Chain A
Amino acid sequence: MYYHRVRLDRSNGLIFLNYNMPIFLRKLIGNVFFFPSVIFAVCVWRIFVPQLPSNSGLGWDGYRYFTLVSEGLQSSSLDSYLVLRIFPLLLIHIVFKLFGIAFAPASVILAFKIMNTILITCSVWMVKKIFEHYKLSLTSQLIGMVIVFLNYAVLNFTFYYPVMTDTPAFFLSVALFFFFIRGELLNIALVGLIGAFTFPVLLPMALALILFPNKNIEFVPFKKTSLFVLGCVCCAYALVMGWYLIFVKQEKVDLLYALPLSYGMLPVSFFSVALLYYFMPLVLGNKTFLRLGYFRSQFSANRIVLVAVVLIFFALVRAAIPVNSTSEYTSLYHQIKIHLFYAFQRPMITVVNHFNYYGSIMLLLILFWKKFAVFISRFGLGMAMSILFIFLVFAMKPESRALIFFFPWLMILMSLFLGQYKFGSTFYLLILLINFATAKLWLFFNYDDNSGNILPDGTIDFPNQWFFMNLGIWETEKVWLWLGISAVVCLCLLIFSLYNITFGKKAILFYKNYNPINL
């Protein structure tokens, strides 16, 4: 009875998911409600975990959001930047007004926790549907769920620091991908509009998907020299901008408690940033994007009208909300500065922190980048262009939280990419362990707002560092070092799990059975 081939199971990577797995367990994991129920249960548990004990549990940014939730559109603190985060805050404001609930911090915190739980559960459902759409095996689905949800960003930070717009951004990002896969252009437009007032980069991402909605693009490789030139251009941008910010404008780390720039390590920092930028343009390394025929096949007057309507609608709504001041966050220079400058704090600090915040995805990106970039390019110019744009402008900020609108795309794409292969059980087990360790659900922070445990360089020492080590810019040098070592060790373990290493013989790649999914 255990030898029936299950419809969705093409691989048998995990031992406990092998064909000798009891049928009831297969049915359980294959059930559409299984993953949402499990993640929902974890979220409900996290609701009762105490949150950051600062500003009555609101935190710092959260305090500003609380003011906006309490005061709505008449808030005097509403500026040109916060107005682009107003959507989820306004929804909670309206619900509180409708039900006559007082805007006390405890009530607002609970409202955010409930909203976050609902949004995460809905995201699980959508991700499950995406996996089913591509007929991923149960093993690949399970690993995909681990990659997307079992991390500090989704299951820990969301509830420790709940009054934020991060979880709505995560949900909207998943929703964009979901509707893109289903080819539902109106829904992409609507999600983009909501995103414009939640995490504003979601709007251009949505517009790019509307303009280039076709998937399953043929991959025609660039010449190596073309890719080299593209890489050098990106490198040059990063190096020139870094030099300009640090030596011409003489910018300093001006955020309280943030790790100061190490001028002694700057050459290594410059090299590591350049290295990352060199490989970024591989996502555009598809010659199809240069063909006129491709653009002709994508051109549609209806879709261009839809994009125009979305932009006009956005402008109208934005104009209808009065703001009291202009925030520096809306200036181009400030955006470039905050997203690139901090990447020079320490060598590879961005990679270290993305690994710490999002788990194994960062290591998987490094491991499979070349093939993965090709895989991304097959989803069309809209997806590839969005990803490259975000990489170039936003991805270098070590405060990984700021990329919550983008990482779901990478995580889902990586799950689909891995789903094409059959790996050894050790590889899957390592992903599970790495994500469990970095999610830190097992670690209860003991933040004390009143302790003045400041180190000589201005960073915050333990025990408060237990929390700040998860927020890139504010971690100590020692934490950066230890996290970096952990990342390297985990990367090595993953590589060892992929290769069958034998003395005196050539290393043999261990992943096999390539089954390309039909995009």
Chain B
Amino acid sequence: MSTETNVAEPSFKISYATAILTLVILIPIVYIVATNLSSSAAPQQQEVTKNQNITTAASGIEPALKAAESNPNYETYLNLGLAYYNAANYLESVSAWEKALEYNPQSAVAYNNIAAAYGALEMWNEEIAACEKALAIDPNMALAKNNLEWAKKMKAESGK
């Protein structure tokens, strides 16, 4: 083994790399703290109206189901979800709209509808997540914005 020495002795020295790495760690930590603080803060005082008039009501479940089975596409599954929603079968409606999303992953309407169904089930975290997906696709969608505010307010009130 060579007796020359080029061994870097272990040390606690601070370098530019230390500063960069610290910064890279601090940014998400600040974000985590901010997120935790904002989620525990009281909801805004403004009046929020839950607007879950998703679209026009569909007719019965059976025709919608037949239509989806014979011609499976985005539209037929969207209508099937509406039919389930109107029949207060919210979990089935979520499944149908998720199926609709397989045909059109960029549908803000489908995400907003899923949010509404979760809202009906008082699953606020899921409603918030679905609303945010809808807004990620269409940031101007008023229905989703409204539902998001509502869900946040209800989540804070219910403490769930």
Contacts and interface: CB of A to CB of B under 8 A. Distances in A.
Contacts of A73: 31-32, 35
Interface in B86-139: 105-106, 125-126, 128-129, 132-133, 136-137, 139
Contacts of A179: 17
Interface in A244-284: none
Given A56-B105, A302-B12, A71 B133 contact: yes
B9 interface: yes
Contact of B22 (A185, A190, A216): A190
A185 B32 contact: no
Nearest to A86: B28
A341 to B, nearest CB: 31
A94 interface: yes
Given A102-B139, A516-B1, A184 B28 contact: no
A218 B125 contact: no
B18 A187 contact: yes
A428 interface: no
A193 interface: yes
A513 B151 CA distance: 72
B44 interface: no
A71 B25 CA distance: 20
Given A104-B137, A190-B25, A216-B1, A74 B10 contact: no
A317 B32 contact: yes
A6 interface: no
Contacts of B47: none
Contact of B8 (A72, A77, A181): A181
Interface in A198-218: 213-216, 218
A201 B103 CA distance: 38
Interface string B1-37: 1101111111111110110011011011101110110
A103 B36 CA distance: 22
Given A73-B32, A74-B128, A184 B15 contact: yes
Contacts of A219: 1
B31 A94 contact: yes
B39 interface: yes
B145 to A, nearest CB: 14
A87 to B, nearest CB: 7
A216 B7 contact: yes
Interface string A59-75: 00000000100111111
B16 to A, nearest CB: 10
A518 B2 contact: yes
A257 to B, nearest CB: 18
Nearest to A63: B105
B141 to A, nearest CB: 12
A77 B133 CA distance: 13
Contacts of B133: 67, 70-71
Contact of A214 (B1, B10, B139): B10
Residue with the highest number of chain B CB atoms closer than 10 Å, among A55, A184, A191, A519: A184
Interface in A109-134: 133-134
Interface string A430-447: 000000000000000000
A317 B27 contact: no
A234 B46 CA distance: 66
Range of interface residues on B (Cβ < 8 Å): 35 or more
Contacts of A378: 1
B1 A187 contact: no
A186 interface: yes
Given A75-B129, A216-B1, A518-B2, A191 B21 contact: yes
A20 interface: no
B21 A185 contact: no
B11 A185 contact: yes
A71 B129 CA distance: 7
B21 A76 contact: no
A72 B35 contact: yes
B7 to A, nearest CB: 6
Nearest to B139: A102
A321 interface: yes
A184 B126 CA distance: 44
B116 to A, nearest CB: 16
Nearest to A91: B28
Contact of B132 (A70, A133, A186, A194): A70
A215 B7 contact: yes
Contacts of A72: 31, 35
B98 to A, nearest CB: 13
A218 B33 contact: no
A303 B9 CA distance: 13
A299 to B, nearest CB: 13
B32 A102 contact: no
Contacts of A17: none
Contacts of A53: none
B41 to A, nearest CB: 14
26 contacts: A67-B133, A70-B132, A74-B132, A75-B129, A90-B28, A90-B31, A90-B32, A91-B24, A94-B28, A94-B31, A102-B137, A102-B139, A103-B136, A104-B136, A134-B6, A135-B6, A179-B17, A184-B11, A185-B10, A185-B12, A186-B18, A187-B15, A193-B25, A216-B7, A518-B5, A518-B7
Given A94-B28, A105-B105, A516-B2, 4 more contacts: A90-B31, A91-B27, A218-B1, A516-B1
**5 closest residue pairs by CB, A with B:** A213-B10, A103-B136, A183-B8, A190-B21, A183-B10
Interface of A: 55-56, 67, 70-77, 87, 90-91, 94, 102-105, 133-135, 179, 181-187, 190-191, 193-194, 213-216, 218-219, 302-303, 306, 317, 320-321, 324, 378, 516-519
